[in-house]
Amino acid sequence: MKSISIVIPAFNESDNFNQGVLTQVADYLKENNLTWPVIVVDDGSTDGSNKNIKTWVEKQPNWSFIQNSHQGKAATVKTGVFAVKTKYTLFTDFDQATPISEVKKLIPFLGKGCQIVIGSREVQGSTREKEPALRHLMGKVFNFVVQLFAIRGIHDTQCGFKLFNTKIAKELFNSLKIYQPKNEKHAFTGAFDVELLFIANKRKIKIAEVPITWHHASTTRVSPIRDSIRMFFDVLRIRLADILGAYPK
């Protein structure tokens, strides 16, 4: 099996940590005899979860912990990606809404010339479980905006389960213009995935979108309305940046 590092961003994860989501990842790797490195990057948590996670991680072979200041998910994932030394990088959300076991669906596409393989909740064959109707509608609207203004042909840019050629991932993160590191006041995921995939698409990097099983994980850390508005304008900013020549091929 391919040599892959796993990057897991974290922010105020007390509830998820107490539910044993990291143990799920560790158990999967152990059960499949995988020695993949795992890098957990904390985005300046304020609930004390970072201390508990760090203590837990330090007891695991091939796991490491990095503490960031609070700059949002883009900067957190970027920090993890730049710590990777293997050929491929998977980044997966801390809550394991997409279980780590779904990686087996993505890996085969690396042998088909794809440099980026993204999990998708929208393409045929995917499964969405326990998702509130409003959340699903908001996702549909955002996907429409992305298709209209940024990337046609990709149906789900926001699923937090993506596999990259590490070299290309580093190049793409270095090319971000809208999602530059900056201090954040609130938990913020953002549309950095859109900017990454927009640049990759512009550079004609081969991307595969693969159906996965996804379970809705409720959270009170983010504001769906506030974040959706900001993400909408960020997509417009990505398009404007491209018009102004910010993303050379």
CA dihedral 221, 215, 166, 41 (to 10 degrees): 30
| Position 147 pLDDT exceeds 90 | no
Average pLDDT of 198-223? 86
Q: If we measure between CA atoms, which residue out of 126, 103, 131 comes closest to residue 28?
A: 103
| Position 137 pLDDT exceeds 90 | no
What region, left, alpha or beta, does residue 204 occupy, with left being phi > 0 and alpha being psi -120 to 50 degrees? Answer: left
What pLDDT digit, counting tens, does each position of 3-52 carry? 999 999 999 999 999 999 999 999 999 999 999 999 999 999 999 999 99
Band (216; pLDDT cuts 50, 70, 90): confident
What region, left, alpha or beta, does residue 226 occupy, with left being phi > 0 and alpha being psi -120 to 50 degrees? Answer: alpha
pLDDT at 186: 64
What pLDDT digit, counting tens, does each position of 222-244 carry? 666 777 788 889 999 999 999 99
pLDDT at 99: 96
CA dihedral (95, 97, 99, 105) positive or negative: negative
Mean confidence (pLDDT) of the chain:
91
pLDDT at 163: 98
| Of the ranges 55-64, 122-131, 174-183, the best mean pLDDT one | 55-64
pLDDT at 220: 57
Alpha carbon distance 108, 102 (integer Å): 12
If one compares 1 and 234, the residue with the highest pLDDT of the two is: 234
pLDDT at 223: 64
Band (138; pLDDT cuts 50, 70, 90): confident
Q: If we measure between CA atoms, which residue out of 134, 160, 158, 117 comes closest to residue 21?
A: 160
Domains within the chain, CATH numbers bracketed? 4-243 (3.90.550.10)
Band (190; pLDDT cuts 50, 70, 90): confident
pLDDT at 105: 97
State the amino acid at position 236 in one-letter form: L
| Position 201 pLDDT exceeds 80 | yes
Residue with tokens 């905006």: 145
